[in-house]
Amino acid sequence: MSSSSTFRAPAGAATVFSADQKIRLGRLDALRSSHSVFLGRYGRRGVSSPPSASSPIKAVSTPAKTETATKRSKVEIIKEKSNFIRYPLNEELLTEAPNVNESAVQLIKFHGSYQQYNREERGGRSYSFMLRTKNPSGKVPNQLYLTMDDLADEFGIGTLRLTTRQTFQLHGVLKQNLKTVMSSIIKNMGSTLGACGDLNRNVLAPAAPYVKKDYLFAQETADNIAALLSPQSGFYYDMWVDGEQFMTAESPEVVKARNDNSHGTNFVDSPEPIYGTQFLPRKFKVAVTVPTDNSVDLLTNDIGVVVVSDENGEPQGFNIYVGGGMGRTHRMESTFARLAEPIGYVPKEDILYAVKAIVVTQREHGRRDDRKYSRMKYLISSWGIEKFRDVVEQYYGKKFEPSRDLPEWEFKSYLGWHEQGDGAWFCGLHVDSGRVGGIMKKTLREVIEKYKIDVRITPNQNIVLCDIKTEWKRPITTVLAQAGLLQPEFVDPLNQTAMACPAFPLCPLAITEAERGIPSILKRVRAMFEKVGLEYDESVVIRVTGCPNGCARPYMAELGLVGDGPNSYQVWLGGTPNQMAIARSFMDKVKVHDLEKVFEPLFYHWKHERQTKESFGEYTTRMGFEKLKELIDTYKGVSQ
């Protein structure tokens, strides 16, 4: 390995130096972080305040280079001084102000909340908080669903939002009600811990409750990865339930993998053995699935994990993919959306150790100076997959095996009725942009409460009702349809695959509309389809976001609209229906009222020039953007 990729034990690990240096350094004083010395990326050091002679060294790493001063982002300093994500949030929550200060804004993200205000109100800001839950595999117990439904009415804006990462978002919670809402979620089988912030977010897995070995194993693995990477220092429970613990029992393999430090991964004697005081450089996303099922947008994640089974259907191990991510910044080509790529295969008993090794590599080497470049995709893009694999293998303690061959992927929505495999049924329901409100919310509540149904949220912002007896199917179908929750044959195919982020009025990053704008956009696309002669059951994957951060994963769409100005979108083309190819930027600053001028010529020529079974995304890629722009410029309209 080159000197530039020298393996380093983590800051705070009990690290053995070379023979002529026979010393051990390290110990992290967990609670007094105001004088901590952070020996940072690549052996550089940033000091929050000068340590006195008696101050213990709080974190030590094996330097790869001569120490030089390094810049750290403001958020890194906030984390370091926070006493493990407590201060000053704990004090800010006690003030009479309707909002919290900037440091607390950053910290409350780790607790699963964002501070927001209504950007359309004039004459001052009315602050509120959005809460996001943590639901590995999208699993929502009956009790938690009913609790979230109640909280939305009593403390929110009367709606629930199903997210693209299989969680709930609850908007409009006032600061004075935060503790009541948080504690209610915790006491009713839920959590918001780590749903936001610089750590592992919700772990995706197929929402379908199939009683099949591979699906069950994928969901179990998602649960275990979520537990492995969950914060351990207690800050969440200290803040919201006065330190009372409501954690479910962890599997022994999770505890063993977390505590294992045989390859220098852990912070010794720290309340956060994996994260330390600094946690990760940025958000971190993981998805688990089974072969063929790309309901999870596998390659958009920092880590994608795929169950590999033998010919008898017994899970044997996992293919692992690394380095995906959607966020970017307009007119800054050094930021980009990226697909994950294969790093190799591991046997099933090693998955937690391999995931931990990847996370630690990002923790130690990901950039902490400029948050635009802090995701793991930039580290892998800079290093290349070979060097990244070499460093991960040092922390893993083994070599990755070659990836196993897998069949073709497809997007699975799980809409409609399906047999689970145990005599019961599940029913997938389409929810436009994941917004549950009005008569739909009321009816869902009645059905879920009456039949004591557990539910799951899909990565496409839809909901799955689980464990339904055959005799319940007809009455449930009837009452749901009366509330607009229709079976898939009655939902426009364009709507079934479309997604949008919330954007205005509450998202502080939104540049233009997304959730509120997509209904009319889809209707206009349907009208264009009819005009050029496309059939009703032909479809295009359309995703809309109000800014380039990509929450609705627009860069995987066949037709992505990314807000780049008031009532204006950047158009992306070239994704595929199975979400395994990334789109490219086609045209900037397309005003919303001009969409027909761009889309109609493309749909017309796709209709008349496509190859057999060629999707819209595949067609636009084959034709090339220069040719497509020529077709737009020379389009004369539909010939009669």
Catalytic positions, please? 132, 201, 283, 285, 501, 507, 547, 551
HEC sequence for 410-466 = ECCCCCEEEECCCCCEEEEECCHHHEECHHHHHHHHHHHHHCCCCEEECCCCCEEEE
Backbone angles phi, psi at 208, to 5 degrees: -65, 125
Cα 179 from chain centre: 25
Q: Strands, E, within 520-602: which ranges?
A: 542-545, 559-565, 568-573, 584-591
d(CA 499, CA 393): 37
User: If we measure between CA atoms, which residue out of 379, 371, 318, 313 comes closest to residue 344?
Assistant: 318
Please report the sign of the dihedral spanned by the C-alpha atoms of residue 218, residue 219, residue 222, residue 227: negative
d(CA 471, CA 59): 61
Backbone angles phi, psi at 468, to 5 degrees: -95, 130
d(CA 190, CA 206): 19
Q: Is the peptide bond before 315 cis (omega within 30 degrees of 0)?
A: no
Strands 341-347 and 286-289: unpaired
Which positions ≥6 away from 125 have C-beta within 8 Å?
99, 117, 118
Helix spans in 349-431 (H):
351-365, 376-383, 385-396
Tokens of 524: 């206009």
Strands 499-500 and 416-419: unpaired
Distances from the Cα of 494 to the Cα of 282, 574, 577, angstroms:
34, 17, 12
Name the percent of the chain in helix, strand, coil, to the closest 5.
35, 20, 45
Region for residue 235 given its phi and psi (left: phi exceeds 0; alpha: psi -120 to 50; beta: otherwise): alpha
